A and B are shown apart, each in its own frame.
Chain A
Amino acid sequence: MTNALRSVAKTAAAASVIALTAGTGAAMAQDSLTLGLQLEPPHMDPTSAAAGAIDQVVYANVFEGLTRFGPDGSVNPSLARSWDISEDGLTYTFHLVEGAKFHDGTDFEATDVVFSLDRARAEDSVNAQKSLFAGIESVEALDPATVQVTLSAPDGMFLFKMAWGDAVMVAPESIETITTNPVGTGAFTFGNWVQGDSITLQKNPDYWGEPAMLDSATFKFISDPTAAFAAMMAGDVDVFVAFPAPENLPQFDADPRYNVLIGNTEGETIVAMNNARPPFDNKLVREAVAHAINRQDIIDGAMFGYGTPIGTFFAPHNPDYVDLTEMSAYDPEAAKALLEEAGVELPLSVKMTLPPTSYARRGGEIVAAQLREVGIVAQIENVEWAQWLENTFRNAHDYDLTIISHTEPMDIASLADPDYYTGYDNPAFREVIDQIAVESDPEVRSDLLGQAQTMLAEDYVAGFLFELPLHTVAKTGVEGLWINMPTQATDLTGVYWDN
């Protein structure tokens, strides 16, 4: 529509438009922000569900832990301003910040830490990451501002574990209603939830630390990619985190009204192979698959060109990452030779189970086509998320190939479990992982992590594809957003409008 025509139409309808917009609160003041998210949290308790959508709203904004993740994935002080670690690495003494209050006005004290940690590790706990707390022997309040945590074995990752959204501090006074009215210590208080539509957070005027720069923030839940695009273009939302329509990103990029932020998540996206049963119990067959896959084609075809290639099960932005992509470089001739060496009968027929995410469905088609080139016929089976969890991931591990992104930070250790769905069983790998768990010297750790990554690449445990990218589209002028997503979070404490 031409501008002239548009303005005529506008004038013609001016009266009604003025009437229509009157009630909706005209031009938004520049101290509030509307964010679009694809998934709505089921409830507001980050300590009793795995739903990343919960942390996406409340982490760092409403709830805080003893430590917290920074935008680069580093572990920083939060409600614990400092800590001492005993010589043997078993006792952590946390010194809590002063003057911190929960949003209901009660003080944040050492007893709240004891309550939160004991609740998470209790017998009947429904914490989705209960293993984070498994190493805790006891939690004691020494005085209102000091907590002592004793571990059963030294744990180099303990402070990292305490930064997770599942380890945030909650209060006994408000725990009963946490699912609908979360009461934390953060820079934002929970405002209003219109279920199915939006959640509003308000600035916490009594925050103990650096106060938030926004007065309020509204998360709107828009699951449909086309609707997300429309909402952004119509100006209904200011920021869309994890924008679901990557095909539209160039259009936003070219438009001076918008900024496109391209970052990384912690999501290692892999073609998982069932190491526990034929044909993928044979390393040669797995190696053949790894060489048959052309990562760049998949990134271009399924991800619109976004995504960093990976050669092992580790995030490429991590300082300890080792680039091993060459070991599984695209080489269909080598793949054919390996299949011959393995003595499998061609064409080799396997089943590829795909969960509903777009990277899996789109990527699966391409992987299947590439495998066909070397004589592996992958029958694609599309399943729902619930079915995937039940049949592929848990219980029977009834699959040959599947495509999935592992989004937990530092999840390399999960592959050490032979009962994990990958079915990878290597005692040497387990031993390295066990050493990493108790090692706190950064240099030794880094070396061990390198060894572990190399083992996975040498054993061709899976087809390693790419690190899942994070696209955020924001209106020009919104500053302070996280570019990467080291944990599921939309940290708004440093976000502001600059214009």
Chain B
Amino acid sequence: MTRAILRRVGAGVLVLWAAATAAYLALLAAPGDTVDAIIGDGADSPLIRSQIIQEWHLDRPAVVQYVDFLARAVQGDLGRSYLLQRPVAEVIGGQLGPTLQLAATAAGFGIVLALVLAVVARRPWVRRLSSTTELVLVSTPPFLIGIVLLSLFSFRLGWFPVSGAQGAAALVLPAITMGLPIAGTLAQVLRDGLDRALDEPFAVTARARGLRESAVLVRHALKHALLPTVTMLGWSFGVLIGGTVIIEQVFGRPGLGQVTVQAVNASDLPVVLAVVILAAAVFVVVNTLTDLAYLVIDPRLRRS
């Protein structure tokens, strides 16, 4: 078991290294001079140029540049945004709070809604209704859901603020917007998993013991259905991170998404690369947790 965990953590470090390397190569591959790429649309002057060359060791061999880049990344130093005139770590760190708050709320809402849709709503016509709703939810561009909610609840009814991140009320609509597609996906996977598990022989055995259908569902089938759902949940975190980029724009919320969009628009590469590495880190953490969850749920995977 310990070995299995260590192997997974090792694989995670490998992915992070690959992401950092890919980000670095992307910088080199950028058209034109590397110094230009790093400056982006920021102020250009000989002083800044020499500063960049010094910071990225552009006057040294490529191997040294790369190793130094990795060494700095490990220490949390992700370079400097020449557009914003601030260290990248500071730019991102300052915006992480609202984004995490939003992502966590959306995930929680999505999970609860998925459970309600898949586990509670099992009567045939309710299933049909919720299946249709889920299809619409996963097919609608998330920003459109946001716009519809905004137009209805903020402009028409005035229940929630139109923009900003002040207080809990400002969190409601963005969290629902991001949570709905996740709920749609999770509910589909969960329902599918439950249906499969309820068809298995062990479910027949359980019924033959005199269990009520709801007990077969909760005590037996749910655990089996959780396996694919956990994978999907891990994947949903990726969607959440991608989602913030657009949703924060729709609701005018500060956060990582806003920073990313600004950085892409202004070709502020150091910030973009840092966001990518950060997303890779989240991916690794989430995936390791997913794998560990598998080990907890399924005893068959514990031998290795």
Q: Do A and B come from one complex?
A: no
Q: Which residues of A come within 8 Å of B, CB atoms?
A: none
